[in-house]
């Protein structure tokens, strides 16, 4: 089965080609959607097969590299189109293909009636192919192809409704910010390659070869530079401070896009990359600290913005940025498996949340359309009381919200709690432990608050939609609700493969599964870890209880403000108008970036256009033409047509030539 790993990215590539080239002629939506979904589902089946085979092997043997073809061999530089199967990539391909298949199925219903239906499925398949290349790549170049590919598909899909200027702008913003990150990734790649090559004659970009040579890397120094550059790439791709502002704008794309790309898969690429290169990152304590600090800062920063947004998708977008911050916090404190665990559970519940919000928007849009109203179907202030109209959507949405808030038993609780515990007890960050934990705990409180605010405003209370169209609200069709149910179930029970040891319920399958991948990193880390006493079980249980309390506090505040006493939000914003304005306007970061980067760039462009291109380049070209014209204006009088002039010039020429020979 391992030999067939190349099929995993190949199926969606075929789907992209069929839908892209012939989709316009295949008018049947079921066929187009069917092909798209079938392709990714077949990748899912192959991934399952590979997982089964991996489980059957003993842990030391769970590593396989499949070279599809030898691609570049140039001097010392060798890059093959090769795929790496190990426990980490297994997790990733299962998540990508599994959640991807569900979202493809969902899209058949959601994108019904759209003019560019085939285009959507073509791009979605292309995206899946790129993402699978990214996670399966066995060297940095194949990963980078996938890395760039997902950025491209993100641009194509955010700008899907290209008739809207806001969608085009958002797509460009996403792509440009991604590019800034990609530059960091490339610089990191080059630094690592060059350093290992010129200092130890190990010329490679293959992950396993770098892992084998990683004992040659120093602690700090060049590793800090390279890993920081890689982290810049991660901030761009995974929307961390400072390159996160594209993600809320990316909600211009259709909801399945938001679910797949900006919740479950593309934005997790940065986390995966750090996991893949854990043995490089761990050797730089400074980078680890930067990663952890930025992760925590992003978590709380985005959480604050999410509390004041009214668009249902914006809230979920900021929630994604915040949860990604948690994942990076985990990676930064050396709990790599916890970061990947949260990646997986987040994929489940966030995809469910986005798809659920899509179902809500779909219903709202349908109802408003009936009444020929132009209210915003995504604005939560127009919603309310939807739980009796959309029961299945409500149930799955509620379950996923419980998961993200960290209610015990659900998947989000186990992953988030593990991150909080690791932040508190990790031996790498010295004095920062408590600070990081405290920030993360506050962010968790905010998370619970704004998510339940969303649920209460959307599903509970009185229905604020225009009464005329209320009766047109109805539940979405099965193609939409089945993926919701599957994802909701996964959000409910998916956490049980990673329960912490001290609860004594089940062994921590997930941590053991990923052990071989992060073993080396843990070994390197132990060289500079501060060996504190073994953290007590009581402390861990205490912190676990505390995080539950924190979540309940957040839910309680949301309940008070949005169900019991609905006048409270208004009183709050009236008491703190400046604070509310700042938070509502995303702390004016977009305006800051405009001032710092966008406007200077535009000014430079304008100068290069008007000052250089028009004056210098056009001037030179036109100038040459003008000089030629001036000369010709003088010379044309030679051709006068008069025999006199011609005869005189002949005589003159004879005299000159004779004179030359006489006087030579």
Partner 1 sequence: MENLNSYLIVSSILFSIGTIGVLTRKNAIVIFMCVEMMLNAVNLTFVALSRHLGNLDGQIFVFFVMTVAAAEAAVGLALMIAFYNNKESIDVEDVNMMKW
Which residues of this chain interact with partner 1, rule CB under 8 A? 636, 639-644, 647-648, 651
CA–CA gap between residue 366 and residue 363 (Å, rounded):
5
Using only C-alpha atoms, the chain has a radius of gyration, in whole angstroms, of: 30
In whole angstroms, how close is the CB of 651 to partner 1 at the nearest point? 6
Cβ proximity to partner 1, 165 vs 636, nearer residue: 636
CB atoms within 10 A of CB 647: 10
Give the start-end residues of each E strand in 453-527: none
Cβ proximity to partner 1, 201 vs 639, nearer residue: 639
Cis preceding-peptide flag for 242 (omega within 30 of 0):
yes
Contact 229, 236 (CB under 8 A): no
In whole angstroms, how close is the CB of 152 to partner 1 at the nearest point? 58
How far does the chain reach from its first CA to its final CA, in angstroms? 92
In whole angstroms, how close is the CB of 615 to partner 1 at the nearest point? 35
In whole angstroms, how close is the CB of 626 to partner 1 at the nearest point? 21
In whole angstroms, how close is the CB of 652 to partner 1 at the nearest point? 10
Cβ proximity to partner 1, 74 vs 639, nearer residue: 639
Find residue 311's DSSP bridge partners: 379
Cβ proximity to partner 1, 568 vs 650, nearer residue: 650
Query: What does the DSSP assignment read for 161-215?
Result: STTSHHHHHHHHHHHHHHHHHHHHHHHHHHHHHHHHHHHH-----BHHHHHHHGG
In whole angstroms, how close is the CB of 650 to partner 1 at the nearest point? 9
In whole angstroms, how close is the CB of 624 to partner 1 at the nearest point? 23
For residue 434, what are its two tokens?
Answer: 């408590």
404 three-state secondary structure: helix
Cβ proximity to partner 1, 216 vs 654, nearer residue: 654
In whole angstroms, how close is the CB of 664 to partner 1 at the nearest point? 21
Give the residue among 165, 167, 143 at the shortest CA–CA distance from 155: 167
In whole angstroms, how close is the CB of 627 to partner 1 at the nearest point? 21
Say how far residue 232 (Cα) sits from the centre of its chain. Answer: 13
Query: What does the DSSP assignment read for 281-298?
Result: HTT-HHHHHHHHHHHHHH
In whole angstroms, how close is the CB of 620 to partner 1 at the nearest point? 29
**Element holding 64 (H helix, E strand):** strand 64-74
For residue 619, what are its two tokens?
Answer: 């001037």
Place of tokens 């929307």: 239
Cβ proximity to partner 1, 533 vs 638, nearer residue: 638
Cβ proximity to partner 1, 58 vs 641, nearer residue: 641
Handedness of CA 142, 148, 153, 156 (dihedral sign): negative
Q: How far is CA 130 from CA 133, 219, 235, in A?
A: 5, 33, 19
CB atoms within 10 A of CB 324: 32
CB atoms within 10 A of CB 140: 26
Give the residue among 521, 480, 552 at the shortest CA–CA distance from 210: 521
Q: Which residues contact 98 (CB under 8 A, 6 or more apart)?
A: 44, 47
515 burial level (CB within 10 Å; 0-12, 13-18, 19+): middle
Cβ proximity to partner 1, 604 vs 628, nearer residue: 628
Cβ proximity to partner 1, 67 vs 655, nearer residue: 655
In whole angstroms, how close is the CB of 635 to partner 1 at the nearest point? 12
The torsion of the CA quartet 421, 425, 428, 433, rounded to 10 degrees, works out to: 80
Give the start-end residues of each E strand in 263-410: none
In whole angstroms, how close is the CB of 612 to partner 1 at the nearest point? 39
Cβ proximity to partner 1, 504 vs 641, nearer residue: 641
Cβ proximity to partner 1, 614 vs 647, nearer residue: 647
Cβ proximity to partner 1, 600 vs 653, nearer residue: 653
In whole angstroms, how close is the CB of 640 to partner 1 at the nearest point? 6
In whole angstroms, how close is the CB of 622 to partner 1 at the nearest point? 25
SS3 sequence, 312-333? HHHHHHHHHHHHHHHHHHHHHC
Cβ proximity to partner 1, 30 vs 643, nearer residue: 643
Cβ proximity to partner 1, 545 vs 650, nearer residue: 650
Give the residue among 10, 142, 143 at the shortest CA–CA distance from 80: 142
CB atoms within 10 A of CB 662: 7
Give the residue among 366, 371, 412, 415 at the shortest CA–CA distance from 389: 366
In whole angstroms, how close is the CB of 633 to partner 1 at the nearest point? 13
Cβ proximity to partner 1, 69 vs 644, nearer residue: 644
């Amino acid at each position: 089965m391992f030999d067939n790993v190349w099929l995993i990215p190949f199926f969606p590539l075929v789907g992209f080609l069929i839908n892209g080239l012939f989709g316009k002629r295949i008018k049947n939506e079921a066929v187009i959607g069917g092909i798209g979904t079938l392709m990714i589902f077949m990748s899912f089946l192959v991934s399952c097969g590979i997982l089964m085979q991996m489980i059957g092997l003993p842990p030391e043997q769970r590593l396989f590299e499949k070279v599809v073809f030898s691609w570049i061999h140039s001097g010392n530089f060798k890059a093959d189109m090769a795929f790496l199967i190990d426990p980490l990539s297994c997790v990733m391909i299962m998540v990508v293909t599994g959640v991807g298949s569900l979202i493809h199925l969902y899209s058949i219903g959601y994108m019904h009636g759209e003019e560019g239906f085939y285009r959507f499925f073509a791009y979605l398949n292309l995206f899946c192919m790129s993402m699978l290349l990214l996670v399966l790549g066995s060297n940095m170049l194949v990963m980078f192809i996938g890395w760039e590919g997902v950025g491209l598909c993100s641009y194509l899909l955010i700008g899907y409704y290209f008739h809207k200027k806001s969608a085009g702008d958002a797509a460009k913003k996403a792509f440009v910010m991604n590019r800034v990150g990609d530059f960091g990734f490339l610089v990191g790649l080059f630094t690592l390659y060059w350093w290992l090559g010129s200092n130890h004659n190990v010329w490679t970009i293959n992950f396993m070869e770098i892992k084998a040579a990683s004992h040659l890397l120093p602690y700090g120094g060049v590793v800090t530079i390279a890993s920081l550059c890689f982290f810049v790439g991660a901030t761009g791709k995974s929307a961390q401070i400072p390159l996160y502002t594209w993600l809320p704008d990316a909600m211009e794309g259709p909801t399945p896009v938001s679910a797949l790309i900006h919740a479950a898969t593309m934005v997790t690429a940065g986390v995966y990359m750090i996991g893949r290169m854990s043995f490089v990152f761990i050797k730089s304590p400074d980078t680890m600290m930067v990663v952890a600090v930025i992760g925590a800062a992003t978590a709380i920063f985005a959480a604050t913005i999410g509390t004041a947004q009214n668009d249902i998708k914006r809230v979920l977008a900021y929630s994604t940025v915040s949860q990604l911050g948690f994942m990076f916090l985990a990676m930064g404190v050396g709990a790599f498996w916890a970061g990947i665990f949260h990646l997986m559970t987040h994929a489940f519940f966030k995809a469910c949340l986005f798809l659920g919000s899509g179902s809500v928007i779909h219903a709202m849009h349908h109802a408003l359309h009936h009444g020929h109203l132009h209210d915003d179907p995504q604005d939560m202030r127009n919603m309310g009381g939807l739980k009796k109209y959309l029961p299945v959507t409500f149930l799955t949405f509620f379950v996923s919200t419980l998961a993200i808030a960290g209610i015990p038993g659900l998947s989000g609780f186990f992953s988030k709690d593990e991150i909080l515990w690791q932040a508190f007890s990790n031996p790498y960050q010295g004095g920062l432990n408590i600070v990081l934990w405290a920030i993360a705990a506050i962010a968790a409180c905010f998370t619970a608050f704004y998510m339940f605010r969303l649920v209460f405003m959307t599903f509970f209370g009185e229905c604020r939609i225009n009464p005329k169209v209320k009766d047109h609200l109805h539940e979405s069709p099965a193609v939409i609700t089945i993926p919701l149910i599957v994802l909701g179930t996964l959000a409910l029970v998916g956490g049980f493969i990673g329960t912490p040891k001290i609860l004594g319920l089940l062994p921590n399958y997930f941590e053991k599964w990923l052990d071989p991948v992060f073993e080396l990193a843990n070994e390197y880390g132990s060289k500079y870890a501060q060996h504190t006493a073994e953290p007590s079980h009581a402390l861990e249980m205490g912190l676990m209880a505390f995080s539950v309390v924190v979540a309940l506090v957040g839910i309680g505040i949301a309940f008070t403000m949005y169900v019991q006493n609905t006048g409270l939000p208004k009183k709050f914003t009236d008491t703190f108008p400046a604070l509310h304005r700042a938070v509502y306007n995303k702390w004016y970061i977009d305006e800051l970036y405009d001032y710092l980067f966008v406007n200077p760039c535009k000014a430079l462009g304008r100068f290069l256009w008007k000052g250089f291109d028009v004056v210098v380049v056009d001037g030179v070209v036109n100038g040459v033409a003008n000089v030629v014209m001036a000369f010709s204006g003088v010379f044309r009088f030679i051709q006068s047509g008069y025999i006199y002039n011609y005869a005189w010039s002949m005589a003159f020429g004879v005299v000159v030539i004779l004179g030359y020979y006489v006087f030579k």
